[in-house]
Amino acid sequence: MFNLYGLYILFAREVWRFLKVSIQTILTPVITVLLYLLIFSSIISASREMLPGVNYLTFLIPGLMVMAMLQNAFANSSSSLFQARMNGNVVFILLSPISDFEFYLAFVGASVVRGVLVGFGVWLAACFFALVPIRHPFYALILAFFCCGSLGALGLVSAIIADKWDHISAFQNFVIVPFSFLSGVFFSISDLPLFWQQASFYNPFFYFVDGFRYTCLGVSEVSVFTSLSVGAGFFVLSSSWALWLLHKGYNLRS
């Protein structure tokens, strides 16, 4: 039987957890991304055309929104669950009448909320530099969900597998951040050498960035339906991994 009340309480707790420190969890990431916007738009001419009819400043904003959503969705679930493990609080969640799936929904749902709030904050702040409309809001919401949901699930995976905070940091610094930077946030992959162009197609984050760029600007380097398909596939894979670990109780019940 699905425990809706228990799911709501755990989800609300996770959302309230990051909202209580919103300066650190929402405002700081927005300011950090705006610094990227200032630096790169100053170094590279804002009038340079990156895609047909799209200057560099306009090209940059959707990519920065996705990068912020990716990194903050991962940070939310990974830090929350790992801290609960280290403090011993996770045992109270495990003893409650909540299934593995409900556990997953609460943590990943809160990660989606934080990721979307940060992405929206970046968009609002970036509008002072260049107005970027959301031309396809339906596709934008779907891609934002896949993006934040996938990284929220990976955050659970890293928090379950990790034995100390250094392992969480290593996963973020050597996997999440490099894949984010190499996903076409700051450049068009058509500008890369052939080898790196081909390698970019194996980076799932590229499809989040390119697909979201289409929802804002109406142009992209691959079909938006390809981006949606890859995003859905990556979401299913990362969620399946997290649910499997939760079901096994790895590092949680032992």
Q: Look at residue 144 in the predicted model and tell me its pLDDT.
A: 97
What number of other Cβ atoms are within 10 A of residue 174's Cβ?
A: 10
Take residue 17 and report the two structure tokens written for it.
């957890």
Q: Look at residue 56 in the predicted model and tell me its pLDDT.
A: 84
Q: Look at residue 90 in the predicted model and tell me its pLDDT.
A: 87
Residue 114 Cα distances to 40, 77, 103, 182, angstroms: 25, 10, 17, 23
Q: Where are the alpha helices (DSSP H) in 88-162?
A: 90-95, 100-126, 137-161
In this structure, are residues 200 and 206 in contact, taking their beta carbons and an 8 Å threshold? yes
Q: Look at residue 191 in the predicted model and tell me its pLDDT.
A: 82
In this structure, are residues 117 and 18 in contact, taking their beta carbons and an 8 Å threshold? no
Q: Look at residue 2 in the predicted model and tell me its pLDDT.
A: 83
Separation of alpha carbons 70 and 20, rounded Å: 21
DSSP state at residue 190? G
Half-sphere exposure of 79 (CA within 13 A, CB side): 15
Q: Look at residue 254 in the predicted model and tell me its pLDDT.
A: 62
**46, containing H or E segment:** none
Q: Look at residue 151 in the predicted model and tell me its pLDDT.
A: 97
What pLDDT, in 10s, does the model give residues 113-137?
999 999 999 999 998 888 888 999 9
**33, containing H or E segment:** helix 28-43
Question: How far is C-alpha 229 from the geometric centre of its chain's CA atoms?
Answer: 17
169, amino acid identity: S
Separation of alpha carbons 10 and 107, rounded Å: 8
Q: Which residues of the chain fall short of a pLDDT of 50?
A: none
Q: Look at residue 38 in the predicted model and tell me its pLDDT.
A: 84
Q: Look at residue 46 in the predicted model and tell me its pLDDT.
A: 56
